[in-house]
Structure formats: C-alpha cells, structure tokens
Amino acid sequence: MEKITSNDFASPENMRDFIAFYKRLAGQQEPLYRLDDFFGMGGAWVAFRHDDVATILKDPRFLKDMQKLAMQHNKQESAQENTSVGNIVEWMKSMPNMLTVDPPDHTRLRRLASKAFTPHMIEGLCPRIQQIADELLDAVKERGSMDLIADYAYPLPIIVISEMLGIAASDRNQFREWTRTLGEAALDPRQGAAVIATLEEFVQYIKTLLAEKRAHPGNDVTSGLVQAYDEGDKLSENELLSTIWLLITAGHETTVNLIGNGMLALLQHPEQMRLLRDDPSLLPAAVEELLRYAGPVMITSRVAGEDIIMHGKQIRKGEMVVVSLAGANLDPHQHANPEALDITREENEHLAFGKGIHLCLGAPLARLEGQIAFGTLLQRLPNLRLSIEPEQLVYNYSTLRSLASLPVNF
C-alpha cells in the first residue's frame, strides 16, 4: 500500500475525493498511523478513529502549546530554512491566543473572548444575518448565475464578524487577500518570507484598529477587549492582538467553507436538497449532517505533554499527534452508513467543531449562519444548479477543505 504523507492531507485531489482518501487512511493496519514528517515539523502520529480522536481532544495530557513540541532539528537549522510552517509556528509562539495555549492561559483567554458569543448575543444576530443573506442574493438575482463562494459564502460571514468587531466595510476585501495568501503559502516551504510579511501586515492593521477603538470606543467586541486590556484584565498586548486576529480569521474562514462544501454536497445529492427545500424544519439537522459529511476542518493537532501509551504505541513527550476530524466523522463504528449524506440522521455526534476545552467557541454562530445561508438559498433559488461539471471544480491546497470557486446557475 502506498505510503501516506502530510501532503495527502492537503492535496486538492484528496479534497475532491475525500471519502476515498479517508477510506485509505482507515484501511491502515494500525489505528495510529506514523508519518515520517509533518510539513517539515518532524515525525507525527495520526489518529483517525472517532473514539481515539475524541479521547485525544479531551485528554489534558495532549497539549496545544507548540512550544512543547520537540522539533527534530535544532532552532538554528529551522531559522536558516525559513520555511512557511516553521515561521507560522514561531509567530504563534510569540502571539498566543486561546487556540494555541493550555490552561490556565487558555481558560483566561477563552473567558474574555466568550463574552462575544453568549447565546443571547448570537440569537440577536439572526435578523441581521437574514438581511445580509437576502441582500447578497438581491445583488445577483438578475444575472441568473454567480460564484457561490465569492458572491455569497465569503461575504456573509465576513460581514457578520466584521460588524461584531466594529471593522469598516472597506477593509473586508483586504482580509480575504491576507487569508488567501496565508492559505496558499502556509504549507509551501518556499513561501516562508511571504507568510511573515502577510502576518506582519495583518498585525499592523489590528494595531491601528485597536488605536482607533481606544480613541473612539463603540459597542463592539474589539472595544470591549481594548477596555479589558486597559483595565488590566490579565491580557497582554500580544494576546490582545492575537485574539482579534483569531476572531477575524476563524470568524469567517471555516463558515465560508461550510457553506461552499455544504451546498456542493446538496447539489450532488438532489434528493437531499429537494427534501430540505420542501421541509425547512430539517435545517438544524441538515447543518449537523453537512458539518459531519463536508465539514471544512480536516485535521488539527496536539503535542504529547508526557510519554503516553496508546494502542500499544509509545507516544513520546514532545511528539506531535495529528487528529483527523474528517476521518472520525466517516468512521463506520460511530456513524451508520457514513459515506451517505442523510439530512434526517438522528444520531450525529460529529467532531467538526472539535471536542473538549478547545471546542469551537464560534460553533453556535456558525450553525446559525449555516441554517440561514442554506435555507435562504434553497427558498429563493429553487432552480439552483452547478454551471460546470463537478470534476472541473478547483480545490485549494490546504488542510481546510475549501473550494476556490463554486459557479452556479439559477
């Protein structure tokens, strides 16, 4: 059997036929697969069974702090290589946020960020999200066609998170350029300099934003975090910068791909799309199934905080463990007939948002945006269909399953 490499977790070919790739991964004889090298960071273990992935995500012995990673080459060599992944790791070490640290720092940072995602606040966004969805479709309805990514899936969540953070509408396209550059360069070892330049531009923008909010505070999340920092609420300047960066990027990027991947899945399963159009009450269950079947986040990672024995294998302290969320969501031991898209699925304990203390903070917002995005498309565009053949679709080289575009007619 051909050896699996880290490239396989990001290749457009495997994103196109992700079920075939994860069947290949699940077909390995060992429940923990050993990668010789994970994007230049040394060897890593890969867990892909649902129970193993859930266990690792909940186990406090598996850490998020990349400073605990025992790199298999010295720092001087790493600096000389100037690789994209190495540069991102070093940047994340200096710019901590709740996704890159462990308790007690994680607890403190998540508590501050969670003030923006209370159930009451999310519920209050419903009318505005619906208005945005309708306005986006109003803008294209006379054309009879659109790129569902550029015209709908991308602007909807970026408008929502920008308004939550108090960011000017004129700056939204710049975020897309930065996130696109980082997405394309992050896994290319030759793009280390481009990654750092983009991150520095992004951070400089946030510094300017914070200065504006300090001078002219508003009723937005950024102003609230600036106030917490100024009042000494145990938030360092780099933590403040990195938290805003995280909310901007995570606040839209995954939802863009949930909408894009989810609509493609429905278009390729017309009986499911018809069922959902005829019965909008199925929207909550449909979003959960689309998260399981076509969720954007393929993998995440942890670092062993101590020597750990799992399935008879010794995971040494400092070794990386890659957990395959997509593999877990296709595990037949957890999900009946996992290769089928079934929006009426009742038992659906998927791991698209992770699990444990790092469970996605924005999950309620993503669910709401998904329900409104899918529901509005299906009700307003009853003749929605692909305008190209599925094999012509282009996927990005990324550990997120993301379409470069999704041309549709209606």
49-80 per-position pLDDT tens digit: 999 999 999 999 999 998 888 865 444 344 43
Domain positions in the chain: 6-409
CA distance linking residue 69 with residue 304, whole number of Å: 8
- Mean pLDDT of the region 376-403: 96
CA distance linking residue 261 with residue 228, whole number of Å: 37
- Mean pLDDT of the region 107-118: 90
Strand, coil or helix: 139? helix
More confident residue, 116 or 362: 362
CATH code for residues 6-409? 1.10.630.10
CA distance linking residue 179 with residue 198, whole number of Å: 9
Q: Considering the entire predicted model, what is its pTM?
A: 0.92
CA end-to-end span of the chain: 44
Strand, coil or helix: 22? helix
- Mean pLDDT of the region 205-211: 95
Whole-number Cα distances in Å, 146 to 16, 114, 152: 21, 35, 9
- Mean pLDDT of the region 173-194: 80
pLDDT digits (tens, 9 = 90+) for 286-308: 999 999 999 999 999 999 999 99
Least confident of 46-50, 169-173, 231-235, 284-288: 231-235
Spatial neighbors of 159 by CB under 8 A, at least 6 apart, are 132, 169, 172
> pLDDT value at position 335?
96
CA distance linking residue 121 with residue 102, whole number of Å: 26
pLDDT digits (tens, 9 = 90+) for 357-367: 999 999 999 99
Burial letters 194-204, b for 16+ CB under 10 A, else e: bbbebbeebbe
